[in-house]
Amino acid sequence: MDLLEYQGKQLFGRYGIPVSPGAAVTTVDEAVATAEGLGYPVVVKAQVLVGGRGKAGGVKLAADVDEIRTHASNILGMDIKGHRVDVVWIEKASDIAEEYYASFTLDRAAKQHLGMLSAQGGVEIEQVADENPDAIARIHVNPVDGLSEVDCRAWVEAAQLNPAATEGAVDILLKLYEAYTEGDADLCEINPLILTPDGRVHALDAKVTLDDNAVFRHPDYEQYDAIQLRDEREQAAHDKGLQYVGLDGFVGVIANGAGLAMSTVDIVNQVGGKPANFLDIGGGANADVMAGALEVINNDPNVRSIFINIFGGITKGEEVANGIVQALARVKIDSPIVIRLDGTNADEGRAILAPHLSDRLQLQPTMLDAARSAVELAGGASA
């Protein structure tokens, strides 16, 4: 899940990374009161889960009470790339000598953490990567060894920042690595990381993505759940505890296990269909979970057929089949359903489904056959 800038800065602050003092507010009066308390100039910053706020007019400097009033009232309620600004962050303005870029993320292919540092900050890193890839200094960090000060310093030197920024950058990057690993983040990005005219290094922005699977280790992360961007379908699935990602096709997909769910999405595409979603119901596949999954998919107006793809492992075929039969008795489904049931006790499971089969509830022997039937029942391949 993604954090708003100010939440990311709060996380950074807990690890000792220097950030500007400020407050998150929702009204113009609160913005003014905060600015008066901080002392001018201040920066008013739209808090939305999209980048490029500066270019969109969502980041403004205010030198006095009139300006803070103007900017806060303009930015509150503003639409930035489809996101309404409900919260603004007011912080003490910084003087900027140079803008850098710094981040840690996971390099899945290398099975290591990846740090990126560039003297060309302030702009999107994708743009730097495209136009001037050599301007990004990279470091791979073995998660077992961690990031040593020696390696961190060599990395900072490779990025050729202003020498005045070296000590501050080394210090912040070591702390950023700690925030990233201990905080169980997938991404910690500072853009810009600034050098001030008086030689201090400082985080002026914060972009943090936390690993949802680590929330159990950080009870305080629960608070971030409410601000996540989800479409209606994703929210309904989330409320039911399902692993669901909305897609824009017309074949609803239910599978047990993330790997199988991904393969199911692939095979639907392969036979000319378009999946409406990714949905992993996990190992259990009992009636409650299956009913919840069918409800979410049935409520998606784009769905024209449903493909249930189950491979029994520890879960036995008859349990899954009973779950499907009970779920179908509870939820009225509008679209035809194709089931592929294989694995442990598949024959027993198929026997349980047999009396319920019809034109609108088919059983197919293989994943490929089932995908083809589902696409056909949906009215054929996509245009």
Residues annotated as catalytic are 101, 189
Q: Which is nearer to Mn ion, 59 or 247 (CB)?
A: 59
Binding residue (CB under 6 A) for ligand GDP from 96, 106, 164, 262: 96
CB of residue 307 to Mn ion, shortest distance in Å: 41
Q: Which is nearer to Mn ion, 104 or 250 (CB)?
A: 104
Comparing every residue's Cβ against Mn ion, the nearest one is: 205
For residue 300, the partner it binds in ligand GDP, Mn ion, none, with Cβ less than 5 to 8 A by kind, is none
Per CB under 6 A, contacts with ligand GDP among 43-82 are 43, 45, 51-54, 59
3-state SS record for the chain: CECCHHHHHHHHHHCCCCECCEEEECCHHHHHHHHHHHCCCEEEEECCCCCCCCCCCCEEEECCHHHHHHHHHHHCCCEECCEECCCEEEEECCCCCEEEEEEEEEECCCCEEEEEEECCCCCCHHHHHHHCHHHEEEEEECCCCCCCHHHHHHHHHHCCCCHHHHHHHHHHHHHHHHHHHHCCEEEEEEEEEEECCCCCEEECCCEEEECHHHHHHCHHHHHHHHHCCCCHHHHHHHHCCCEEEECCCCEEEEECCHHHHHHHHHHHHHCCCCECEEEECCCCCCHHHHHHHHHHHHCCCCCCEEEEEEEECCCCHHHHHHHHHHHHHHCCCCCCEEEEEEECCHHHHHHHHHHHCECCEEECCCHHHHHHHHHHHCCCCCC
Q: Which is nearer to Mn ion, 46 or 294 (CB)?
A: 46
Q: Is 21 in the site for ligand GDP (CB under 6 A)?
A: no
Binding residue (CB under 6 A) for ligand GDP from 183, 192, 246, 312: 192
CB of residue 200 to ligand GDP, shortest distance in Å: 13
Binding residue (CB under 5 A) for Mn ion from 205, 280, 318, 319: 205
Options 89-97, 202-210, 237-245, 323-331: segment touching Mn ion (CB under 5 A): 202-210
Q: Which is nearer to ligand GDP, 99 or 300 (CB)?
A: 99
Options 123-131, 173-181, 189-197, 226-234: segment touching Mn ion (CB under 5 A): 189-197
Contact yes or no for 370/340 (Cβ under 8 A): yes
Options 190-198, 222-230, 240-248, 311-319: segment touching Mn ion (CB under 5 A): 190-198
Task: Give which of 96, 101, 94 is closest to 120, Cα–Cα.
Answer: 101
CB of residue 180 to ligand GDP, shortest distance in Å: 19
CB of residue 158 to ligand GDP, shortest distance in Å: 23
Binding residue (CB under 6 A) for ligand GDP from 98, 178, 205, 318: 205
CB of residue 202 to ligand GDP, shortest distance in Å: 9
Comparing every residue's Cβ against ligand GDP, the nearest one is: 54
Which residues sit at the interface with ligand GDP, rule CB under 6 A? 43, 45, 51-54, 59, 93-94, 96, 99, 122, 191-192, 204-205
